[in-house]
Amino acid sequence: MSLVKSIRVLGQLAVAAALACTNFSASVQAAPQEFATMPGEAGESGGKLVVALRSEPKTLNPILSVDATSREVIGTMNADLIHINRETQRTEPALAKSWKISPDGKQFVLQLRKGVKFSDGTPFTADDVVFSFNLYLDEALHSPQRDLLIIDDKPIVAKKLNDFAVEFDLAKPYGPGERLFDGLAILPRHLLEKSYREGKLAQAWGITARPEDFSGLGAFKLKSYTPGQQLVLERNPNYWKKDSAGKSLPYLTELTFVFVANEDAQIIKFQSGDTGLLERSNADNFAVLQKDAVAKGECLRDLGPGLEFQFLVFNQNQLDPAKYRDLAAKQAWFRDLKFREAVSLAMDRKGMTRLVYGGKATPIWGNVTPGDRLWLNTSLSHPERSIGEARKLLQSSGYSWTSDGSLLDSQKRPVTFTIMVSSSNAQRSKLAALAQDDLKQLGMDVQVVPTEFRALVDRVLNSKDFEAVLMNLVNGDTDPTPEMNLWLSSGETHLWDLGEKKPATAWEAEVDHLMESQMTTTDPAARKKLYDRVQQLAADNLPLIFLVSPNILVAAQSNVGNFRPAILEPYVLWNADQLFLRRPGAAKCP
């Protein structure tokens, strides 16, 4: 199927015209240097922008980065072949100016932009592309991107056709199509090949490497790094994008990341004008900002629900009953669908939205958030909260109540369990306290256990020693394929029952099948239908009790131009190459 057709079908699926598709015009002319021209307001060059990061990047090596802050910094220093526009949520040409997908969906041919140079001045060619994909696929390097490039157990093969054309061969058609290439940074062969041959690539491009050791195709390049304080990037003069007025991008001469671990401290820094952008705010702090945003000249944006969702999950893992006797007995409740339905019915999602997020969140009953307009199954039912209905369900499953209202199971054991929650997250602790109070109304004696985050993750993923846990997941893309890990019964984050050798239930077997077929189906309408069914099965069987999806709340000083935050990460820096600073007095908040 051709790309044009696939985009049109996706367009029909989009709910309403909310997704105003800015048609990206890659002006491909026979020029010595094929620049990409970006739509948007033409800005002024110069200026320095400061942004706070929650933690220091662990590495600047795109092959090895796993944490969000590393990837965010790396994203501004590197470029990919085909990019997902965070605003339109569609793909657009990046280093590849155009591409063709074969009719069977198994072959991609990408035409590269000519005349593009790395930040050190070396020309970019197909050799760099093939070299980069070899790195991502090299098992010895353990790149987190490797899994995405293995389709039907076979790695993608990259072949150079000529200096400016590369062919990719897939074992099976790939549903998300060219979205595959997003985020795969193209690396300079001339700099990294030596260390790769010597087996030292894992040590290359660490956070302490010298600026002259780096070279990238991104908008910025490393200027300096001060441990514990800041990382300064400067403009890449060889960048391959121009604005609508023909001026070279990026506009900013410097982009500085300062390290501010505490969320409240980030707000204070932003309020005092030390930072120009605020990446993400919680609802409480956003309300504090709102009080004097106009007076201070700050642009606050509530982008609505993002791709993050909060949920409660019960431990349904297959455990050694000798080792976990107590827990194994409780799992009889957790595996009882009526029990989970009763819990879901008792949840005051509206109260959670209001009390925890000040109304800046959306109640959810499924795994796709309302932010993901393309894929959301709008026909899912949203059962109203009803303690009465929940009690009826419990009763029909053999539960009863003592005279003081405590719930007993069919064997007359009191229903009591713990909900683990990250102790460092105030919002989630509040959600847990509300859930605890809601479940008390069903007679369940629930204890909330605040746990240090790493200990919590260890209990959920490794020791599996927990009863219930309240946590969140953030989808990296609107497409369902990155969610495979959660839904496949063999998936690494199949949280409620990890490491199933074969699907434990019939519906999980069906989900396995649906997820695998959506990944290898190229017709978007057919994929949507498959994923709609997955959402229906998830809502019917409640492996996770979906609670709320918080809104993405961001802010910028009013002099930051082209501030167009999006609900896909990185929320505010996705168009770092187009951000600019207005002259004093010209400030306006669009």
Partner 1 sequence: MNRTFRPIALLVFLASLHVALLFPGFFAPYDFAAQNRDLPFAPPTKLHFVDPAGGFHLWPFVHPFQDNTDANGVYAEDLTQSYPLRLFVNGDPYKVAGLWTAHIHLFGVQSPGQIFLFGTDDFGRDELSRMFFGGRISLFAGILGATIAISVGAAMGLVAGFFGGWRDAVIMRVSELFLALPWLYLLFAVRALLPLRVKSTDAFLLLVSIVGLVGWARPARLVRGIVLAAKERNFVLAARAMGASNTHVVIYHIWPETYGVLLTTAALLVPQFILAEVTLSFLGLGVGEPIPSWGNLLAPLQRYSVLTSYWWMYLPAVALVFLFLAYHWASTTLQSKTAEVRA
Q: Interface residues with partner 1 (CB under 8 A)?
A: 264, 267-268, 284-285, 287-288, 326, 348, 351, 354-356, 358-359, 418, 420, 423, 426, 429-430, 432-434, 436-437, 447-452, 455, 459, 465-467
Across 79-140, the runs of DSSP E, i.e. the strands, are 82-84, 91-93, 96-101, 107-112
Nearest approach in angstroms of CB 549 to partner 1 is 17
CB-based burial label for 345 (10 Å; 0-12, 13-18, 19+): buried
Nearest approach in angstroms of CB 355 to partner 1 is 5
Quick one: 420 or 538, whose CB is closer to partner 1?
420
Read off the tokens for 321. 């009953």
Which residues are 257's β-sheet partners?
51, 231
What CA–CA distance (Å, rounded) separates 79 from 184?
A: 8
What CA–CA distance (Å, rounded) separates 431 from 349?
A: 9
Question: What φ, ψ does residue 557 adopt, rounded to 5°?
Answer: -65, 150
Question: Which ranges of 78-141 does DSSP label H, i.e. alpha helix?
Answer: 126-137
Quick one: 432 or 538, whose CB is closer to partner 1?
432
Nearest approach in angstroms of CB 250 to partner 1 is 32
CB atoms under 10 Å from CB of 297, counted, come to 14
Nearest approach in angstroms of CB 422 to partner 1 is 10
- The Cα-based distances of 355 to 15, 262, 286, 289 in angstroms read 29, 22, 14, 18
Quick one: 353 or 369, whose CB is closer to partner 1?
353
Nearest approach in angstroms of CB 267 to partner 1 is 6
Quick one: 211 or 450, whose CB is closer to partner 1?
450
**Residue that is written with structure tokens 């657009």 in the block:** 92
Quick one: 69 or 425, whose CB is closer to partner 1?
425
Quick one: 350 or 513, whose CB is closer to partner 1?
350
Instruction: Give kind and range of the element (H or E) at residue 462.
Output: none
Nearest approach in angstroms of CB 325 to partner 1 is 12
Nearest approach in angstroms of CB 458 to partner 1 is 11
Q: Write b or e for each residue in 69-103: b if 16 or more Cβ atoms lie within 10 A of its Cβ, otherwise e.
A: bbbbbbbbbbbbbbbbbbbebbbbbbbbbebebee
Quick one: 198 or 264, whose CB is closer to partner 1?
264
Nearest approach in angstroms of CB 352 to partner 1 is 9
What CA–CA distance (Å, rounded) separates 545 from 311?
A: 5
Quick one: 139 or 326, whose CB is closer to partner 1?
326
Nearest approach in angstroms of CB 285 to partner 1 is 5
What CA–CA distance (Å, rounded) separates 309 from 495?
A: 14
What CA–CA distance (Å, rounded) separates 4 from 9?
A: 9
Quick one: 109 or 433, whose CB is closer to partner 1?
433
